[in-house]
């Protein structure tokens, strides 16, 4: 793969250790494989089959205990791709060992744990980045760059919408329990909030929301709508449904969330697959079949990833974010601005990690940024329960420079 001049140049690849070889890692692996700036040197996982597969494919060392991989002197940074509820313990172990951290979204389930994680990394002097998140998507970062340029004036309003089959994909039992990080708020709203906060400047002021919990067989939030206000007067609407009916990828040129072309004839396959499952154990096994060592990694997607249709209204026009670029609808003309795809859809995450670790230049999506997004996730739940607006207290501004992505 060719490297763009905007990408950080390295004399030697960043040596990355992975904690957790499950579904999250599988989604990021194609972009790691396509990026010669990152080298997988170690992994930690409880399944012997996954560890053996890693050793065979990458020749790296494997561990059963998080403490052991964090003590490996050859590991510069760790990518924590374990279930949500494990993040706090694993980040604290990594920080204590002096390892820089890329942790999967959400930062944590509980705000108190998120604060502990951020403070542990700051005390240890290590970088903490939350991702991959769709705020790193190429077209989102392009829209952010356009906004930062000042060419379209101030952001006034944002609309974000996404309809998927999320709730009917194979789940472990805890993924259907809100208190354990299940449902769409901590896994999906976190993406949408991250994007909207990035484009709106970061400083959310209030959230007013309603949530949907409509299927007794999947007893957690499967949908939400929220209205967020920002310091300075901008506002945003965010809507998501994971109930596997309408598919908003029809408005994204049938490019799926992960950047791969989608066949419209595959409609209903998530629900159909679940009809063949007779127990939670069978469903968990179905999900395990999608993890590392059980299924081969896909090649890098031919398109950027996305998180549904997004329109940003500014003084000078509207920005419509598509999978591979941004439409700028101005006062008198409209034009399409493409977002180049270089080393896989998640190359922006790799770039952010490299810049932070090797050049001490953290992106917007730092630990404190992830904490602010986590606060907004909880605000959706709190507002829906109280039927009242919730004020936000832990928000931070979007970085003006050193943002994640191909900038």
95-112 pLDDT per residue, tens: 999 999 999 999 999 999
Q: Cα separation of 267 and 67, whole Å? A: 44
Q: What value does the mean pLDDT take over residues 251-265? A: 97
DSSP line for 264-323:
GGGTTHHHHHHTT--SHHHHHHHHHTTSBTTBPPPPPPSS----S-EEEEETTEEEEEET
Asked whether residue 7 is domain-assigned, the answer is: no
pLDDT score of 224 more than 60: yes
Left (φ > 0), alpha (ψ -120 to 50) or beta: where does 220 sit? Answer: beta
Residue 406 has pLDDT above 70, yes or no: no
pLDDT beyond 60 at 179: yes
Q: Is residue 3 part of a domain?
A: no
- Check whether residue 178 and residue 300 sit in a common domain: yes
Does residue 7 have a pLDDT over 80? no
Rounded average pLDDT over 284-299? 86
- Residues 353, 337 share a domain: no
Q: Do 24 and 47 belong to one domain?
A: yes
Residue 401: inside a domain:
no
pLDDT tens string 269-279: 999 999 999 99
Residues 94 and 141 placed together within one structural domain of the fold: no
pLDDT, residue 3, reads 37
103 plus 166 within the same structural domain: no
CATH number of the domain that 31 lies in?
A: 3.40.50.720
Q: Are residues 318 and 214 in the same domain?
A: yes
- Beta-bridged to residue 78, according to DSSP, are 17, 101
Percent of the chain exceeding pLDDT 90 equals: 91
- Whole-Å CA distances, 44 to 3, 72, 322, 349, 387: 30, 11, 36, 21, 43
Contact call for residues 117 and 87 (beta carbons, < 8 A): yes
Q: Is residue 289 part of a domain?
A: yes
Q: 283 in a domain, yes or no?
A: yes
The model's pLDDT over 30-57, given as tens digits with 9 standing for 90+, comes to 999 999 999 999 999 999 999 999 999 9
Rounded CA separation 131/365 (Å): 7
Task: Judge whether residue 401 has pLDDT over 70.
Answer: no
Express as a percent the part of the chain with pLDDT over 70: 96
Residue 403 located in a structural domain = no
**Assigned domain for 9 exists:** no
Residues 48 and 193 reside in one and the same domain: no
Report how far residue 173's alpha carbon sits from residue 242's, in angstroms, rounded to the nearest whole number: 17
Domain count, the chain: 2
Residues 127 and 143 in one domain: no
Considering the domain architecture, whether residues 372 and 354 belong to the same structural domain is answered as: no
pLDDT digits (tens, 9 = 90+) for 204-218: 999 999 999 999 999
Q: What's residue 8's pLDDT?
A: 61
Is residue 69 pLDDT above 50, yes or no?
A: yes
Mean pLDDT within 142-150: 97
Mean pLDDT across the stretch 377-400?
96
Q: Please give the model's pTM, rounded to 2 decimal places.
A: 0.94
Is residue 59 situated within a structural domain? yes
For residue 42, what are the domain limits?
A: 14-134+347-359
């Amino acid at each position: 793969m060719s490297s763009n001049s905007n990408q950080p140049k390295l004399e030697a690849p960043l040596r990355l250790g992975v904690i957790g070889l499950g579904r999250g890692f599988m989604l990021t692996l194609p972009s790691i494989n396509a990026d010669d700036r990152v080298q997988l040197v170690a992994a930690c996982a409880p399944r012997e089959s996954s560890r053996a597969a890693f050793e065979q494919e990458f020749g790296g060392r494997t561990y059963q205990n998080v403490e052991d991989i964090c003590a490996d002197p050859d590991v510069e940074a760790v990518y924590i791709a374990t279930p949500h509820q494990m993040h706090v313990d694993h980040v604290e172990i990594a920080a204590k060992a002096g390892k820089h951290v890329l942790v999967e979204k959400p930062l944590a389930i509980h705000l108190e744990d998120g604060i502990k994680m951020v403070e542990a990394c700051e005390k240890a002097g290590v970088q903490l980045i939350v991702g991959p998140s769709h705020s790193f998507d190429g077209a989102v970062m392009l829209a952010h760059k356009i906004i930062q340029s000042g060419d379209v004036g101030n952001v006034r309003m944002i609309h974000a919408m996404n309809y998927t089959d999320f709730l009917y994909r194979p789940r472990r039992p805890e993924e259907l329990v809100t208190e354990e990080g299940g449902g769409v708020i901590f896994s999906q709203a976190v993406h949408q909030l991250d994007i909207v906060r990035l484009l709106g400047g970061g400083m959310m002021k209030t959230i007013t929301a309603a949530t949907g919990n409509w299927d007794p067989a999947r007893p957690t939030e499967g949908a939400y709508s929220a209205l967020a206000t920002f310091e300075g007067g901008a506002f945003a609407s965010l809507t998501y449904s994971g109930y596997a009916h309408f598919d908003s990828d029809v408005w994204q040129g049938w490019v799926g969330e992960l950047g791969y072309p989608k066949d419209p004839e595959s409609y209903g396959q998530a629900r159909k697959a679940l009809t063949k499952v007779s127990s939670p154990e069978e469903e968990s096994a179905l999900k395990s079949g999608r993890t590392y060592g059980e299924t081969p990694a896909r090649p890098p997607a031919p398109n950027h990833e996305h998180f549904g249709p997004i329109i940003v209204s500014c003084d000078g026009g509207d920005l419509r974010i598509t999978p591979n670029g941004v439409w700028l609808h101005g006062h008198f003309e409209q034009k399409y601005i493409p977002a180049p795809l270089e080393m896989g859809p998640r190359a922006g995450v790799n770039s952010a990690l490299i810049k932070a670790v090797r050049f001490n230049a953290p992106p917007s999506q730092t630990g404190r940024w992830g904490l602010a997004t986590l606060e907004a996730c909880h605000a959706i739940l709190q507002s829906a329960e109280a039927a009242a607006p919730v004020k936000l207290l832990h928000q931070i501004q979007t970085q003006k420079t050193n943002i994640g992505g191909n900038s």
